[in-house]
Amino acid sequence: MSFIWAIVTGIILSKIFKSSIMFFIGLFLGPMLYRAFNNIAPIRHSSPSPTLFLTVAFEVLGHLSKAKGQVTQSDINLASHYMDQLQLDNEKRKLAQDSFNRGKSHGYPLRERLRELYIQYRYRKKVLMVFCEQLIQAALNDGYLDDKEKIILDIVAEEFHISKTQMALYIQMIMASYQFQRQQYSYRNQQSQQNHYHQRYYQHTESINELNNAYKILGVNASDDIATIKRAYRKLMNEHHPDKLVSKGLPKEMLEAAKKRAQEIQLAYDLIKAKRGFK
């Protein structure tokens, strides 16, 4: 097979550069390309470790909690709630707890573990995106990102080969989701407590804020045309489709978080459709 690659490469190079010398260079390069392709192909199609995503996710969650200083009860409750949300069985829950403790230990090799995860999923970018989103959601548990949390997110971006612009967009989208949820909860409470005049004023204000956050959840601007908004919505829903994520190697335990994110995207899109008047 390497001989065929040599001949084909030689012919292609000689045609491109219109030189017989390039044919002989192709004979030399062809086998090298064949070996490189054979080394890459198994990685691209191999099945990721079924527990690697889960363990690294909780390790980094523990590391994130420790980075702010002392791990608080709120941090522990968040990790426990996350385990409940993922519906982990006893074995996986123990694995998650051990991973969380490992992540908050002194000298945790953050970059090495992220690099190991990246190697497994580098041809499955959607899965890495879900990892980033879930990590940002955990960091925003208290409503804001401090400098140490931002540093960790920057390291994640570097090790996953994600641009700073793209990571900033992820953060903006997840922050908007966080605020969107709080606004809906707050609005329901205000409806039952305020008088009619204040309800109307509050409803108007919150409606504007909700709409602004809905645009941010989709990663678009209020000034974008309908075609752009629909394209962004379809792209996000495709990226968070459970069946496609499972086929890309996302552990089934992590699907609930992806489904919740898809529901938020749908709610945001429905609000924009209602306000802009399109189907």
Q: CA–CA separation, 144 vs 111, rounded Å? A: 24
Query: Which pLDDT belongs to residue 112?
Result: 96
Phi, psi torsion values for 18, nearest 5 degrees: 50, 50
User: Does residue 38 register a pLDDT over 80?
Assistant: no
Residue pLDDT, tens place only, 93-114: 999 999 999 999 989 999 999 9
Binned at pLDDT 50, 70 and 90, residue 202 comes out as: very low
Q: CA–CA separation, 66 vs 96, rounded Å? A: 16
Q: Cα(first)–Cα(last) distance of the chain, in Å?
A: 54
Number of residues assigned to the chain: 279
- Kindly report which listed range (9-23, 77-91, 115-129, 204-218) carries the lowest average pLDDT score: 9-23
Q: CA–CA separation, 83 vs 260, rounded Å? A: 15
More confident residue, 192 or 13: 13
Query: Which pLDDT belongs to residue 139?
Result: 85
Query: Which pLDDT belongs to residue 48?
Result: 61
Who's near 43: CB < 8 A, 6+ residues apart?
119, 122, 123
Distances (CA, A) of 56 to 62, 103, 112, 241: 10, 8, 11, 22
